[in-house]
Amino acid sequence: MSDPTLLFEAFRRNARVNAFLLDELTDADLARSDGQGGMTVAQLLSHMGASRGGWLQEMSPAFAASALALTGGESIWGWHTADRATLGAMLSAGDEAALQAVQAHLDSGEPFADPRGVDTFASHPAHFLLYMIVHDANHRGQIVALLRQSGASPERLDRLEQQWDLWRK
C-alpha cells in the first residue's frame, strides 16, 4: 500500500456515516440497551469515539491529546456520555487525530509504538484506519439491532439504511 489516498477517503466516508447515524438518533435511542447488561447506544457511540484516542495514546501519544480532551480526565476506556454534541465532537476529534497520526508515521517511515508488544499495526500504519472502519461498522450494526429490537418502525429502519448512500458517493 504505497498510496493510502483511497483508504483516507474511505475513513472520511466512515466519519460521515457515523455523523449521519448520530443525527438520526433521538435522546430516547441513546438510552436503549439490550436489557441484558450490554452497552447502551450512547455507550457504544462513546466507545467508538474514545477508542481512537485510546489507541493513539499508546501508539502515537503526540496525536492523542485532541482525541482525549473531551473525557475530562476519565479513563479513556471507561468514558461515556449521552450528550450528542460531545459524542459528535469526540468522533470528529478522534478521526482527525487518527488521520494526522497515520500521515505522520507514513511520512516518517516510523512504525507506531508498540509498548505492549501486540504488533500494533506493525504491517502498515494505515491499517489503523481500516481497523477503525471495521470497528465502527460492527458497533453501528449493534446500534441498528438495538433499535430494531426496541421496536423502531420499518420506515425508521429504512431511513437508517440511507447510510449506504454515503459510501457510494
Dig out the grid coordinates for 54 from the structure. Answer: 485510546
Using an 8 Å Cβ cutoff, are 149 and 40 in contact? Answer: no
Nearest to 82 by CA among 157, 17, 27, 123: 27
Residue 105 in marked binding region: no
CA distance 72 to 94: 15
Here the contacts of 155-160 (C-beta below 8 Å, separation 24 or greater) are 159/24, 160/21, 160/24
Using an 8 Å Cβ cutoff, are 61 and 134 in contact? Answer: no
Residue 80 in marked binding region: no
CA distance 130 to 110: 18
Residue 139 in marked binding region: yes
SS3 labels along 134-166? HHHHHHHHHHHHHHHHCCCCHHHHHHHCCHHHH
Annotated binding residues: 47, 135, 139
Which segments are annotated as binding site for a divalent metal cation? 47, 135, 139
